[in-house]
Structure 1
Amino acid sequence: MDNFSSYRENRGFNWAAFISGILMVIAGLFLLRHPGKALHAFVLLFAIVSIVQGFVWLVFYSRFRYFIPSSWLSIVSGVLDIIVGILFLYSYDAAGLTIAYLFAFWFLFDSISGIIFSWNMRKISTFFFWLNLILNILGLLIAISLMFNPALSALTLIWLVSFWLLIFGINQIIAAFVNR
């Protein structure tokens, strides 16, 4: 009974959800309006994350080198992450192109995996087998077109992130009013 009474006392407007929702909607609209700046922001973010991850791998090595026999791999990974991050900081164009190709390859590998997985579904349901197969073949065609047009791949990435921010931001704004 105590849980219910404390729940009712905590009800009210959720300012954190409201503010984060507004910021996400603004960010999503900004990305849609300025895709070039958005790609530069992605490159900068990826570079920073890569450098930080590199240092995390190096710290991992220093802490676990005596316990884990293959911990030397963390040195290799850490150094490579730091190098990639630094290269991305100094060459936005090459980094943007790399991210665009990574995005296209991600779609390609997911679509191929989906096609392989769909063959297992035919034992379960003929309808879902065909639906899954057709959707993954469409995904494969999209992936191939993104690989031949990296600018489209980069723009698609920005659109997807923009729409995700808009949808999640609107959801957060609605969630702020739910607890009233």
Structure 2
Amino acid sequence: MDNFSTYREKHGFNWAALIAGVLMIVAGLFLILHPGRALHAFVLLFAILSIVQGFVWLAVYSHLRYFISFSWLAIISGVIDIIIGILFLYSYDAAGLTIAYLFAFWFLFDSVSGISFTWHLKSTLGPYFWINMILSVLSLFIAIGMMFNPALSALTLIWLVSFWLLIFGVSEIVAAFGNR
């Protein structure tokens, strides 16, 4: 959104930032009010991006084959990405469940990493060690809960994206008025 934030008209008011901010807030509120549609939108977006990425891998192969001996991996990646994208287009339920589990595994991995790093930095964190450890263990429990309840995982994803849109939408509106 830096393009919108840095754009100024002669009078100093940033109309592009205002419009971007309002659109972000509307999108964030829509996601909160319609989580089922939001998940379908994520699935559709992921499917399209997967298909496009597949074709990018296939195109990259033609350039890589002269320089890298294992460039055939680009063909395999491209075909797999295209297949996943097509499967997601035809099965929203399976795709939504897959995205929910991926999100849960992401939380799980970050939680375990947080515990590991906190433990190894015990001597340098001082009194903050216990705060970091408690928060990391709490996030581990949340991640495990998300794995056993994929609907919670999908809802968490939607809420995080919603709040991100709301926060940056307000930020863009403030930037629009701040340049006066």
Give your verdict on TM over 0.5.
yes
Contact 1:40 1:92 in 2 (8 A): yes
Structure 1: where are the runs of 5+ without partners? 1-7
Rounded Cα–Cα distance in structure 2 between residues aligned with 1:152 and 1:9: 44
**Match in the other structure for 1:4:** none
Contact 1:51 1:85 in 2 (8 A): yes
Rounded Cα–Cα distance in structure 1 between residues aligned with 2:125 and 2:154: 36
Rounded Cα–Cα distance in structure 2 between residues aligned with 1:125 and 1:165: 33
* CA displacement at 1:10 relative to structure 2: 5.7
* CA displacement at 1:83 relative to structure 2: 0.6
* Equivalent runs, 1:15-164 vs 2, <5 Å: 15-164=15-164
Which one-letter code corresponds to 2:125 in the other structure? S
Rounded Cα–Cα distance in structure 1 between residues aligned with 2:92 and 2:128: 42
* CA displacement at 1:9 relative to structure 2: 8.7
Contact 1:114 1:136 in 2 (8 A): yes
Give per-residue Cα distances to partners, 1:115-171, cap 9 Å, x unaligned: 111112212122222111111100100000000001111111111111110011010
Point out the more displaced range, 71-80 or 95-104: 71-80
Rounded Cα–Cα distance in structure 2 between residues aligned with 1:172 and 1:51: 32
Residue 147 (structure 2) pairs with residue 169 (structure 1):
no
Q: After TM superposition, where is structure 1 displaced by more than 4 Å over at least 4 residues in a row? A: 8-11
Q: CA, structure 1 residues 12+137, in 2 after alignment: closer, same or farther (shift >3 Å)?
A: same
Which one-letter code corresponds to 1:78 in the other structure? G
Number of equivalences: 173
Rounded Cα–Cα distance in structure 1 between residues aligned with 2:60 and 2:11: 43
Contact 1:121 1:128 in 2 (8 A): no
Structure 2: where are the runs of 5+ without partners? 1-7
* CA displacement at 1:63 relative to structure 2: 1.3
Contact 1:57 1:75 in 2 (8 A): yes
Rounded Cα–Cα distance in structure 1 between residues aligned with 2:90 and 2:127: 50
Rounded Cα–Cα distance in structure 1 between residues aligned with 2:125 and 2:142: 26
Give per-residue Cα distances to partners, 1:6-65, cap 9 Å, x unaligned: xx9966111111111110000000001100000000000000011111111111111121
Report the 3-state secondary structure (helix = DSSP H, G, I; strand = E; otherwise coil) of the residue aligned with 1:143: helix
Point out the more displaced range, 124-133 or 33-42: 124-133
Contact 1:52 1:82 in 2 (8 A): yes
Point out the more displaced range, 10-19 or 29-38: 10-19
TM-score, length-normalised on structure 2?
0.92
Percentage identity across aligned positions? Answer: 73
